[in-house]
Amino acid sequence: MAGPSKSLVLDPAYQKYYELNANRYKYWRWTPRHAMLSFVYMGLIPGVLTYFAYNYEGKFELRGKRKGDTISEW
């Protein structure tokens, strides 16, 4: 039936990966690469998206033609 098996053999590669992932905070260090990636993902990308959002707010009419609208608007 279902349940733990006594003949279960764990893959050593998976065990090593699990241990590394569980203890990642012990081995992680700030490097120039980590600093640059953090700046790009937490600063540059949101900043650029915010800039474009504020710059182009209300400049485009995205509403489609509805019943009762005249065709001359299009």
Contact 65, 74 (CB under 8 A): yes
Question: pLDDT tens digit string along 11-34?
Answer: 999 999 999 999 999 988 999 999
Write the CB contacts of 34 (distance below 8 Å, at least 6 apart in sequence): 28
What sign does the CA torsion over 20, 22, 41, 36 have?
Answer: negative
- Report phi then psi at 7, rounded to 5: -100, 15
Residues 40-48, mean pLDDT to the nearest whole number: 97
pLDDT at 3: 65
pLDDT of res. 1: 54
Provide the pLDDT for residue 16. 93
Has this prediction a pTM greater than 0.95? no
The rounded distance, in Å, linking the Cα atoms of 15 and 7 is 17
DSSP 23: T
